[in-house]
């Protein structure tokens, strides 16, 4: 095999590897899009409602109140 043939063969292999990489990236993008559609309803709308956000806010406020009460009790007992 002469040098020219070896170069051509190497170039073809590089092109094939690039094609495979591009196909893989395209499939990965499709997977990302499918996940987004599953999470956000496919039309860009969130599956979460206003009630869900209100419930989350309520939970966060309750957690903060529990934390504050715990810290207050530690301060009163002189542990902090």
Tokens 């590897």 map to which residue?
17
Q: How far is CA 6 from CA 9, 13, 60, in A?
A: 5, 11, 66
pTM of the model: 0.41
Return averaged pLDDT per consecutive 10 residues of the chain, 80 residues in all: 87 92 81 76 68 93 95 87
Cα of 32 vs its chain's centroid, Å: 9
Identify whether residues 26 and 64 lie together within a single domain.
Answer: no
Measure the CA–CA gap between 45 and 53, rounded to whole angstroms: 15
Cβ atoms 48, 41 nearer than 8 A:
no
Is the domain of 6 the same as that of 38?
Answer: yes
pLDDT at 27: 79
pLDDT, residue 46, reads: 66
Q: Are residues 28 and 62 in the same domain?
A: no
Which residue range forms the structural domain that includes residue 42?
Answer: 1-47
Contact 80, 71 (CB under 8 A): yes
């Amino acid at each position: 095999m002469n040098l020219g043939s070896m170069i051509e063969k190497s170039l073809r292999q590089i092109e094939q590897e690039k094609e495979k990489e591009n196909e893989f990236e395209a499939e990965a993008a499709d997977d990302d899009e499918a996940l987004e559609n599953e999470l956000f309803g496919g039309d860009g709308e969130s599956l979460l409602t206003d009630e869900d956000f209100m419930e989350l806010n309520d939970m966060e406020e309750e957690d903060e109140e529990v934390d504050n009460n715990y810290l207050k009790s530690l301060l009163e007992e002189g542990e902090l």
